[in-house]
A and B are shown apart, each in its own frame.
Chain A
């Protein structure tokens, strides 16, 4: 079974600064997908970024980028130029290649962006 670990229950960052959220996972699969989802106070789950394990290049979406280290099974999220609207709970998620969308979620990191 896969496990996803987010070791930072809470983090804070000043507006406009950079913050990195950590995530490690454990799997015996070779092909899989990793995601970061954001859940703001509205509780709507929103996709932030995705990474395919077979791609070595780290995914980037505007101010959001990942540091994917497959051998170390690490998948951290970097948020640059933090904005107040980034305040949310962030979940790291693992999806195997054979489970048609079934995902394993980490416990989440609550990020607060301070003005």
Chain B
């Protein structure tokens, strides 16, 4: 149980376009999901906390207009990278927990390459 599905696994887009990444909890409801960015051989950097039915909470230094987060249902959160640039190329991971103190369940991640 407690499976998180993230789609797509990889995406290549041209500079200036927008890309949407989906994160779904398949067998549990997640009022809160988390979005991370990870550079090679580095730790997960929390970008934002996605809250169902309300605005996301962004970490300091993360541009909310650049990284749009929508959490319209208890099982789906989306991250849209708007007007992508090559520096946005990275590995993006989502996570959720099915109770307040349970371990995080992670999506498989999305490798974004902006050309």
Binding site for B on A (CB under 8 A): 33, 35, 37, 42-47, 50, 89, 91, 93, 95, 97, 100-103, 105-108, 110
Nearest CB on A from B96, distance (A): 7
Report how far A106 CA is from B43 CA in the complex, Å.
7
Residues of B contacting A97 in the complex (Cβ-Cβ under 8 angstroms): 101
Find chain A residues with CB under 8 A from B68 CB.
none
Q: Among A42, A47, A101, A110, which residue has its beta carbon within 8 angstroms of that of B96?
A: A101
C-alpha gap A21/B32 in the complex (Å)? 30
The interface centre, meaning the residue of A37, A101, A108 with most chain B CB atoms within 10 A of its CB, is A101
11 more A-B contacts (CB under 8 A) besides A46-B106, A50-B103, A107-B42?
A42-B108, A44-B109, A45-B44, A89-B41, A93-B104, A95-B101, A97-B101, A100-B97, A101-B32, A101-B95, A108-B42
Does B100 make an interface contact (CB < 8 A)?
A: yes
B34 beta carbon closer than 8 Å to chain A: yes
B49 sits at the interface (CB 8 A): yes
Q: Are B42 and A101 in contact (CB under 8 A)?
A: no
Tell me the count of chain B residues lying within 8 A, CB to CB, of chain A. 24
Q: Is B58 located at the chain interface by the 8 A CB criterion? A: no
Contacts of B97 in A (CB 8 A): 100-101
Closest approach, in angstroms, between the C-beta of A38 and any C-beta of chain B? Answer: 11
Q: How far is the CB of B17 from chain A (nearest CB, A)?
A: 24
Q: Is the CB of A91 within 8 A of B32?
A: no
Report which B residues bind A (CB closer than 8 A).
Answer: 31-32, 34, 38, 41-44, 46, 49, 91, 93, 95-97, 100-106, 108-109
| Alpha-carbon distance A97/B101, docked complex (angstroms) | 7
Task: Judge whether B46 and A33 touch: CB under 8 Å.
Answer: no
Whether B103 lies near A105 (C-beta < 8 A) is no
Chain A residues with CB below 8 A from B104, complex form: 35, 37, 45, 47, 93, 101, 103
**Complex: how many Å from CA A45 to CA B31?**
21
**B96 (CB) vs chain A CBs: closest residue:** A101
